[in-house]
Amino acid sequence: MFACNGSPNGGDVLRRKTPSRKAEDSIKATCKVCGHDVMYSPQRTWNLMRHVWIMHQSSKPNQCSICGYSHIKPYVRKHIESQHKHDSNATIIDLKSPELEAEWSQLLDQCFGVTYRKWKHHKEDTQHTGGLLFDDDELRG
């Protein structure tokens, strides 16, 4: 069950009410490219990245070292466990690069506009490592 409130950024805030979890605020962002609704919270924006990687981007962030299957890390991990479970040499290759980040950033801006730009600005302000913005270790799935 969800209760809906207005959100200052134009999305709807949905509060999940479940007996086993405390209430969690989520914001609905609608992709401007495909119209798909994506739920996220300001602290957990991985759903926005996941949407772009799965729905709109052919260049995935990770690859199977055995057969070249590429996708987000949890999917490549599941692929290796099911397709190459007897091959101890099977690993996940990280394909992230500044060039791919630029592609993903452009797609995120096209899909989510202001929502993405606010997140990017916050992430850049709080990120002290100088690393890549997109970390699919945050992804669940």
Same domain, 64 and 86: yes
Same domain, 75 and 38: no
Same domain, 31 and 65: no
Mean pLDDT over residues 81-87, rounded?
96
**3-17, 87-101, 112-126, range with greatest mean pLDDT:** 87-101
Helix (H, G, I), strand (E, B) or coil at 87: coil
Q: How many independent structural domains does the chain possess?
A: 2
Q: How far apart are CA 54 and CA 105, in angstroms?
A: 14
Identify which of 43, 18, 22, 10 has the alpha carbon closest to the alpha carbon of residue 113: 10
**Whole domain around residue 33: which residue ranges?**
1-57
Same domain, 49 and 83: no
Cross-strand bridge partners of residue 141: none
Dihedral angle computed from the Cα positions of residues 75, 78, 79 and 85, in that order, rounded to the nearest 10 degrees? 160
pLDDT band at 3 (very low <50, low <70, confident <90, very high): very low
Q: How far apart are CA 9 and CA 7, in angstroms?
A: 5
pLDDT at 23: 41
